Amino acid sequence: MSTTGIEAGVGAHPGIGGAPVSHRPLGILAALPQELGDLIEAMRAESGVRTITHGQRDYHLGTVHGASCVVTLARVGKVAAAATVSALIHAFDVEAVVFTGVAGGVGAEVRVGDIVVANALLQHDLDASPLFPRFEVPLLGVSRFAADASLADRLAAACERFVAEEGTAAAERFGTREPRVHRGLIISGDQFVASATGVQALRDALPDALAVEMEGAAIAQVCYEYGVPCAVVRTISDTADDHAPGSFVSFLTEIAGTYSNAILKRFLESRGSPA
């Protein structure tokens, strides 16, 4: 499908009896370049990259770790994320969407260096009460958007393999604790949460929230509306308290790319094999 005249053109080849087989690509996105790690360089080395600029974003098409992908940067915030994933769906016909990046830890057991894979996502700053229940998307009647179960299982399995194979080395190298993989609720809003009172207010309102970031639930809403499977993985860069700005910047510049590379490589290599 191409409503914009852009033809993604990745992966189609003759199948059994010469009939065309369509391998729709996977959309992979992050907010900031550091959160994508070396994914575009890896694509360049493996298949070459075709870059299409659309809506002031660059979409990179090719094969990476054996999977046909469209890789792009959403930039920061829910509107940016929604616009980007909408283009991935309509202009690039992605089969599914994976968002990778960092987040602030909210759950009591969630520490810097841990990894959270979303089971569900919610917009913590969406409040049309008393007209609609707090957090509910008006007229859609949903507050928690489920991640695609099999995509999230596969992502979590990739995280577990990373931790088993490289977790100790990563903890020693970066001075973090041995990473743990958590699964549960990720909450999103158009705010960088950086105060003890701010993160406590989120815990009080949403006691099962594990992590807070600025894009995931917007991606999940758009994917829900168009019936496209999506999953979100976040490495914890800070604990959304007064230390968050410094912790976020150093984690982003020194560590985020290593985690992303390790997780995405294992995830993409597993695509096509049974879960």
Q: Which residues bind ligand ADE (CB under 6 A)?
A: 102-104, 192-194, 212-214, 237-238, 240, 244, 248
Cis-peptide, bond into residue 245, ω within 30° of zero: no
Inter-residue contact 64 to 46 (CB < 8 Å): yes
* Position of minimal CB gap to ligand ADE: 104
Output 102 or 185, the one with its CB closest to ligand ADE: 102
Which residue out of 93, 114, 148, 238 is catalytically annotated?
238
Spatial neighbors of 179 by CB under 8 A, at least 6 apart, are 113, 114, 115, 162, 163, 167, 170, 171, 235
Considering the complex, state which of residue 30 and residue 228 has its C-beta at the smaller distance from ligand ADE: 30
Minimum CB separation of residue 44 from ligand ADE in Å reads 28
Q: How far is the CB of 204 from ligand ADE (least distance, A)?
A: 17
| Radius of gyration for the chain, computed over Cα atoms and rounded to the nearest angstrom | 18
With H, G, I as helix, E, B as strand and everything else as coil, classify residue 98: strand
Concerning whether 172 is annotated as a catalytic residue, the answer is no
**Beta bridge partner(s), residue 71:** 28, 60
Per the annotation, the verdict on 225 as an active-site residue is: no
Residue with structure tokens 């982003």? 252
CB of 272 to ligand ADE, least distance (A): 31
Closest CA to 35 of 243, 192, 237: 237
Greatest alpha-carbon span in the chain: 64
Based on CB atoms, which residue is closest to ligand ADE, 47 or 250?
250
Could you give the C-alpha distances from 193 to 179, 202, 252, in angstroms and in order?
A: 22, 9, 16
CA atoms within 13 A on the CB side of 91: 20
By C-beta, is 96 or 103 nearer to ligand ADE? Answer: 103
What's the closest the beta carbon of residue 238 comes to ligand ADE, in angstroms? 5
Which residue among the candidates 35, 93, 148, 215 is catalytic per the annotation? 35
- Of the pair 166, 190, the CB lying nearest ligand ADE is at 190
CB of 175 to ligand ADE, least distance (A): 18
Active site residues: 35, 238
